[in-house]
Amino acid sequence: MASTRSRGTLRVISGEWRSRVLDFDATSGVRPTTGRVRETLFNWLQHATAGAACLDLFAGSGALGIEALSRGARELTFVERSKRLASELRARLSLLNAQDRAQVVQADAKAFLQTCNKQFDIVFLDPPFSTDMTDGICATLEQRGLLNAKAYIYIETPRSGEPPSLPSNWALGRAKIAGQVSYQLAQRHD
């Protein structure tokens, strides 16, 4: 019997797995960050990614975190609420033989942040567009001390929405719009 799931694909832009094509379940509601946006983001982060400890907080397909691993991130924590998507992400990481540098946590993002005791150099925030949690997540990252001194925070939101409210010690460095997506890169300062 054929699978009823529709398969989507995403291509790794650069690094160790350059041009590698990975499948994801297109019917899951996941909208991986486009290749064009990922390329721009990682151009912005080109000097920060290698050796970084990263958090992909609303992992979905894992496109952002996998791209960071491909470009030399030291470790990556993927957080995904959906049991099925977390399982698919583990399979993707196994296919890439990246399990030694990556951890998939199947949990709600807010709950994860309340129990996390690590610090990150780069955080990817791409929450479902139907939610309004970006401001709260940003505040929690800062209040709980989950960011290293000069950490970068990537935030993706709907173009039609309000820009996120950033903690006072975060500076917006770059921002762009692509289609219906607004994306920005902030950096934490002491």
pLDDT along the chain (190 residues), means of 10: 63 90 74 86 96 96 95 97 93 93 96 97 89 91 97 92 89 92 93
**Inter-residue contact 56 to 76 (CB < 8 Å):** yes
Q: Which pLDDT belongs to residue 67?
A: 96
Residue 25, domain member (yes or no): yes
Please give the residue range of the domain that contains residue 117: 7-188
Residue 159 lies in a domain: yes
Q: Which two tokens stand for residue 33?
A: 């960050």
DSSP string, 88-107: HHHHHHHHTT-TTTEEEEES
> Where in 57-168 does DSSP place strands (E)?
75-80, 102-106, 120-125, 147-158
Position 1 scores a pLDDT of 39
Q: Is the dihedral of CA 43, 58, 18, 93 positive or negative?
A: positive
Per-residue confidence (pLDDT) for residue 5, from 0 to 100: 57
Domain contains 176? yes
Residue in the block written with tokens 């990252």: 141
What pLDDT is attached to residue 19? 87
The pLDDT, as a whole number, for residue 108 is: 95
Beta-bridge partner residues of 79: 105
CA 154 from centre of chain: 8
2 in a structural domain: no
State the pLDDT at residue 10: 82
Q: CATH number for the domain including 19? A: 3.40.50.150
| Domain annotation covers residue 33 | yes
pTM: 0.92
Does 1 reside within a domain?
Answer: no
pLDDT at 2 (0 to 100):
44
